[in-house]
Each structure stands twice: as C-alpha cells, then as structure tokens.
Structure 1
Amino acid sequence: MPLHAAGAAPGKSGGTSASNYGCLFDTEATLTPLHAFIGPNDSGKSTLLHGMRTLVQFAGSSFQQSEGRWKPFEPYLPMRYPSSQPPRKPHDILLECGVDGGWFAIETGLRGLEERAGERRSSDTSAGDDRSNVGRHWEAHSVLWRRDRRPSDKKILSQLRQARLVRFDPDALREPSGLIPETQPVGFLDDRGHGLAGIYFAIRNRNDDAFSRIVDDVRRHFPTIKGLRIKVVTSSEVVLEVELVNGARVEATRLSEGLLYYLAFAALHYMDPVSLLLVEEPENGLHPARIAEVMRILRAIVEESGTQVLMATHSPLVVNELKSDEVSVVTRTAEEGTRVKRIKDTPDFEERSKVYALGELWIAYANGDDEAPLLEGTEP
C-alpha cells in the first residue's frame, strides 16, 4: 500500500497532500488500501486521482515532452493560488505522500524554470535570445527534481512502482487491438481501455485457469452467454466476441456496455500488478446488481496483489460496499480550494450510521453543492 498515513515527515499529518495542483491549493487526504472519494461535481475528486498518478510517475520515472504534449500523460503544469492562499514558492507544485518507512515528495514550478532559463541565456551567447526554446528545455528538465532525498529512498521508491488510471469508454473497449509479446507486461494502452482484446488473448495464453475463471463468472452474471472468444481479424489484431447459449455469436461492435465494463474490471485482476490503481466512476454502465461484483473484484486486487485502489464515484451503491474509514467527502470553494474529510469524521456520524447504510447516509445528507448538511451536522 503506497499512499497512507504512516511514515509522515516531521510536521506532517500523514497521508497525501498537494499544493497548487489544479484545484488542489493546500489539500490533504488520509487513505486506506481501498478508498473512495465522493462529493459534488467539480469538487476535485478526479484531480486528486490525477495528482496521485503524477506523484507515482515522478517516483518511478520522468515525463518527456514531444510535439507540445507530455508523455506518458499530462502531469498538469503549475497554476496560481487564490489570493487567500499564497503558495510556498511562486507557482510551485508540491505533491507529497507517506509510505512505509518515510515520506516522498516532488516539487517543481515556473520560478525554477525562469531562473534556470535566465542562467542558460546569459551563458550561451552563440544561440541568441531564443526564450521560448530555452524555456521548454528547462521545463522538461525541472520535472525530474525529487525533493527530500534520503538513504531510505530505494525502499520508498520500490513501493511506488507504477500507477494505472482507468476511466473506461465502451467504444475503446470494443476496438481491435494488437497482440502483447510474452516479454511485455499486460495492461491497457491508455486510460479509456484500448487493448482489451489483446489483454484477454494474453490472459488466455499465459494463465488458462484465470481465463476459465473469468468465463465462468461471466456465465453466472450474464446467463445468456455461453462463452468468450478472442477472434483473430488480421495477422496482428484480435477482437472480442461472445457466443450465446443459442449458438449465435455477437461481434465486439454489438457487445453491450455493461458486459464490456464488466470484462474490463475482471481483466484488471490478472494484469501485471501496479502500486496504485485509480478508477474513475466504477459504476458507469453497470446494472446495480453488477456494482457489488465489481467492488468485490477491486477489493480482491487489494488483498491479493497489494495494490492500493482509489476511486472517485457518484454512486451510493459503490459506497455501500465500503467501510466508514474507506470513504472521504470532497468539497471545493473558491476561497479554500478542495477539502477532503473522511465520512466517519462528520458530525453525528455514529448516530446517523445506525439509521442509514453508508451510501444512503451520504445521499440523505448531500445537497450536491457544498454537502453542508453532512459536513456541518445540520438537517437537509
């Protein structure tokens, strides 16, 4: 479990924190191995996930800039604080997390770029005053700086191997995909889920028992389905296909969204493990009865592989599958930015939880704006 409340640096409360990252001006969160962020739209839930993915990417590797775009994904460049929250340094981003044995932090920002670009211009008279190119040069290099280097870095960084973020799109899941060589890890090609057919081809070839277990689960939850096929369409591409109990075959372009989402979550369990799995709205496209099964899959990933699973959700059914310390309420104001509070720490939680299941408690006291009835202990 990479990001949690243990091992905080002196003066830190533990967990994770972010400053000047998108709408996260000075935000802290305490996390569990399986954890969900709930709250109004545009409160910062997705930004929290993206910030944690950026943090892990810094720990394991670096970003590169090509044709004006950041690879492997957009890490979010520095933004300004609101006037009520002055930054530690002008325009700097600061992302920090507690891990077993210590604290990992990265910090970068425009001030360092401007200072270093100025130094480069003054020392390189032959190149002229090409400020835009110099700025891009230092911008690309500044993101490699890691703060608070310590002897325990090797142990800390080993817990921050890789992060995988998914926000599945059924059209991406339907598309043909290439084959995954035996020497390469099994995983999606992007956040949307491209490459699902190739992943199932690899699962079947590398772990036939795992493929059989998935097919058995699909038959149990989708009674009209007899089997799952990976159809070869070219010498280098495959697509998914389903065989029904009546013998008919359904091509990938006609597979239901609910089935595609379920297959994508089922595949996550058998991919190469990562330190951090980030899921945006796991409830999308699923029948209410399938949500509990997806949550069972995500909890099994935590327990069996040690991967930490964090999600952003709007579904009380997702929340109902979690414990009170596994849910945090996220809100945002123009003055303070994003704030995170565990639902178990809200006023009158013990009394309210005797009446409501966890998801229903949230809905009963949520107004979709600032969640004041829940966070301030007032009646809706």
Structure 2
Amino acid sequence: MIHTFHARNYGCLVDTEATLTPLHAFIGPNDSGKSTLLHGMRTVVQFAGSRFQQDDERRWTPFDPYFPAQPPSHEPPRDPHGILLECGVDGGWYAIKTGPRGLEERAGEQRSNDWSAGYEPSTTPRHWEALSKLSQSNGRWDRQILRQLRQARLVRFDPDALREPSGLIPETQPVGFLDDRGHGLAGIYFAIRNRNDDAFSRIVDDVRRHFPTIKGLRVKAVTSSKVVLEVELVNGARVEAGRLSEGLLYYLAFAALRYLDPVSLLLVEEPENGLHPARIAEVVRILRAIVEESGTQVLMATHSPLVVNELKPDEVSVVTRTPEEGTRVKRIKDTPDFEARSQVYALGELWIAYANGEDEAPLLEGTEP
C-alpha cells in the first residue's frame, strides 16, 4: 500500500506531498490538481510494474505519462531540478526521476544510511533519464516493495463507452476494462457469469434491490464474437445497452469492479457522476469492499459531499492550488477547529459549509465562510 506520495515538477504538482489511507478521497476546487495526483500515482506504479512504449503514431501506451521530452542537448534543461515521483510503501519507498545527470547522487544523499544509494534504470525512452530507487536487504533488491506497486487501474466511466458492444475475454486472460472510460463492460459481465456464477447472481440481486423495475440482467451475443448488455424489466420488456439509463450503466460498472482481476491501486475519478444520491453510498460501500476483500488501495477524486459523508476523517484530503506554490494537500482532520466543527456537521457537510470553491480558505484557515 502507498502510505505517502510526493511529486515535484509534475504538471501542477510543483512540490506536493500527500498522506494516504487504504480508501482515500481528494476533494477541493476545480483545477486544483486532484486528477494530476491520481495520474502521478498511476505513472509511478506503471514504472514499477511495466513500461511505457510508443505506438506508430508516437503516442504513449498504455497511457500518457505526462513526462515532457527533454530539449536538444545543445539547449539547457527546461527544468534544472527535474521531475520526481516517489511513494512510501510498507517496508520502503520507490521513486522515479527525470532530469539532468547527477541529480540522482544528490537525491541519494538526502536519504538515511538505511537506504540504498544505488539506482536501477527504468525501461523508459532514451530522452527520459528516469531512475528507480528501492530499499535493499542484504545487498539485494527488496521485491516486496515492487509487489505493492504491481499494477494500477484508473476509471473515469463514460456511459457511451459502457454501452458499446465488446469482445469476449478468453479464460486465459485477466478480466478488466479495455480503457479508463469503461469499454468492454459487456465482455466483463460475460466473463463474470462464466467464471463465477455466484458473483453474477449477487450483482443481479443488488440491481433488483436498487432498481425495482428491473427483473434480470443478460449478456446478449450480437455476433459470433461480440456481446452487449441487456436488462429484462418486470413487465417482460427487454432493453438493450443503447437505451439503458446512465445511472444503471454507472452502477453496473462499479459493481463489476469488485470482480475484476485485482490490482494494487484503483484510481477513481468522480464516482458520483450520473448516480442518484441514494446510489452514491452504495458505490462507496462497493469501493470499501474492494479494499477489504482484495487488499487493493482505492483513491478517489470527488466533488460530492455525499461521497465524503461515507468516509472517515483520516480518509479525506483537501487539495488546493496557488500560482506561487502549486498544489497543496491537507487532511481534513488537520484543518483548524475540526473537532468542534465535526460535532455539528457530517464530514461532507462540513466541507460544503466551509468551502468557497476557490482556495477553501474558510476551511483551511479556520475562518467563517
């Protein structure tokens, strides 16, 4: 699990630190850096467990890591301090850097003697000078650290993507979405039904409870290799995915997350989108169950006080941004007068009551709104 995350010169994260819990939410104004925090954590986990490559159109896969290309050698570096992404995990820490040669030695000197001064090159394009730093045990790399960073999944579901027909997932392949937006949902449900019929039945029972007009859920073949979702209503009518409500599609996507192949880090952007307020609490319960059942760490960026109401004080951090300092992160329980205010307000209500949507000064400085 990632306990702490630090980013330097990564997008709007000039010099940003965050303390995390197994289930954690970032709240704050628009354009404060919440999504950039999630993207930075996904990037460092991708480096730890795999690599970035360029396709024929010179796009980065599996996603854009936001690392800028360095200028030609005859020009000075665009940033003399380089980019740093690092995270503290159980038993150690892991980091990647880009920048001029020689910065790695200075970074090593900042650490205690308990940590390795050695560096292991990452699998990066040649114009990135990226370095990995791991704790050592008896002169060998501690792979326990890398196992905590084996894979990340980011979702920002889009109803049009969730409606699309999808291919079948072979038994030998892991079950997961094809991209961040949620393409492949129908294929995922086909796999869930075939590999774990009890899981499929549990999801259908939950759907019936939360959507009383629905009798059943089907995965319908439209070609020999493509399937779509379809629901049967209590009146016998059948509705294909193209006509399903956005709220139901979002709910089905979150319900499926619980049964995908586990990852070490699940990143969720605005889980409240498209959901009725009564469904938001259920989605947060699903995310908490993922943490408890699979050990996956779940981090969210949200604008919903209803999401925040389902969390504990140490599970919420306020994110703000200024032109001078960039993005700053502060746990809501560390804000002034929190104990007194929390006696009056639920957690999400406290945020809304003392938020101005710009710098959150009433909340962070202990002033009245």
Q: Which of 75, 94, 98 in structure 2 is aligned with 1:104?
A: 94
Structure 1 partner of 2:84: 94
Structure 2 partner of 1:139: 127
Q: Secondary structure at the match of 1:20?
A: strand
Q: Which of 125, 140, 159 in structure 1 is aligned with 2:148?
A: 159
Q: Which of 41, 62, 65 in structure 1 is aligned with 2:30?
A: 41
Distance 1:238 1:160, change over 3 A: same
Counterpart CA distance in 2 for 1:372 and 1:270 is: 41
Q: Which of 23, 41, 46 in structure 2 is aligned with 1:52?
A: 41
Structure 1 partner of 2:301: 312
Distance 1:52 1:22, change over 3 A: same
Q: Which amino acid aligns with 1:76?
A: Y
Q: CA-atom RMSD, angstroms?
A: 1.7
Unaligned runs of 5+ in 1: 5-14, 81-86, 113-135
Describe the superposition over 1:79-107 as per-residue Cα deviations: whole angstroms up to 9, x where unpaired: 99xxxxxx997251101111111011111
Q: Secondary structure at the match of 1:368?
A: coil
Counterpart CA distance in 2 for 1:101 and 1:146 is: 16
Q: CA deviation at 1:252?
A: 0.8
Structure 1 partner of 2:209: 220
User: So what's the TM-score if we normalise by structure 1?
Assistant: 0.86
Counterpart CA distance in 1 for 2:257 and 2:134 is: 33
Q: Which of 48, 57, 62 in structure 2 is aligned with 1:72?
A: 62
Q: CA deviation at 1:330?
A: 0.1
Counterpart CA distance in 2 for 1:187 and 1:256 is: 22
Structure 2 partner of 1:122: none
Counterpart CA distance in 2 for 1:137 and 1:197 is: 35
Q: Which amino acid aligns with 1:213?
A: R
Structure 2 partner of 1:232: 221
Counterpart CA distance in 2 for 1:179 and 1:341 is: 44
Q: CA deviation at 1:149?
A: 6.0
Structure 2 partner of 1:3: 2
- Preserved contact between residue 178 and residue 198 of structure 1 (Cα < 8 Å): yes
Q: Which amino acid aligns with 1:108?
A: T
- Preserved contact between residue 362 and residue 374 of structure 1 (Cα < 8 Å): yes
Structure 2 partner of 1:121: none
Structure 1 partner of 2:105: none
Q: CA deviation at 1:139?
A: 2.3
Q: Judging by fraction of residues, say which structure has more strand.
A: 2
Q: CA deviation at 1:65?
A: 1.5
- Preserved contact between residue 347 and residue 375 of structure 1 (Cα < 8 Å): yes
- Preserved contact between residue 29 and residue 340 of structure 1 (Cα < 8 Å): yes
1:265 and 2:239 aligned: no
Structure 2 partner of 1:176: 165
1:322 and 2:311 aligned: yes
1:342 and 2:331 aligned: yes
Correspondence list, 1:343-362, <5 A: 343-362=332-351
Structure 1 partner of 2:119: none
Q: Judging by fraction of residues, say which structure has more helix.
A: 1
Distance 1:79 1:344, change over 3 A: farther
Counterpart CA distance in 1 for 2:134 and 2:252 is: 41
- Preserved contact between residue 269 and residue 301 of structure 1 (Cα < 8 Å): yes
Describe the superposition over 1:139-158 as per-residue Cα deviations: whole angstroms up to 9, x where unpaired: 26x44x32346334311001
- Preserved contact between residue 44 and residue 330 of structure 1 (Cα < 8 Å): yes
Structure 2 partner of 1:26: 15
Distance 1:79 1:350, change over 3 A: farther
Q: Which amino acid aligns with 1:40?
A: P
Distance 1:306 1:148, change over 3 A: closer
How many residue pairs are counted as aligned between the two chains? 337
Distance 1:149 1:71, change over 3 A: farther
Share of identical aligned residues, percent? 85
Describe the superposition over 1:209-263 as per-residue Cα deviations: whole angstroms up to 9, x where unpaired: 0000000000000000000000000111000000000000001100000000000
- Preserved contact between residue 327 and residue 343 of structure 1 (Cα < 8 Å): yes
Counterpart CA distance in 2 for 1:373 and 1:137 is: 45
Stretch of structure 1 that moved more, 89-98 or 53-62: 89-98
Counterpart CA distance in 2 for 1:51 and 1:20 is: 11
Unaligned runs of 5+ in 2: 71-76, 102-123
Counterpart CA distance in 2 for 1:50 and 1:137 is: 19
Q: Which amino acid aligns with 2:206?
A: D
- Preserved contact between residue 22 and residue 79 of structure 1 (Cα < 8 Å): no
1:201 and 2:190 aligned: yes
Distance 1:287 1:137, change over 3 A: closer
Distance 1:356 1:236, change over 3 A: same
Counterpart CA distance in 1 for 2:45 and 2:177 is: 18
Q: CA deviation at 1:138?
A: 1.7
Q: Secondary structure at the match of 1:25?
A: strand
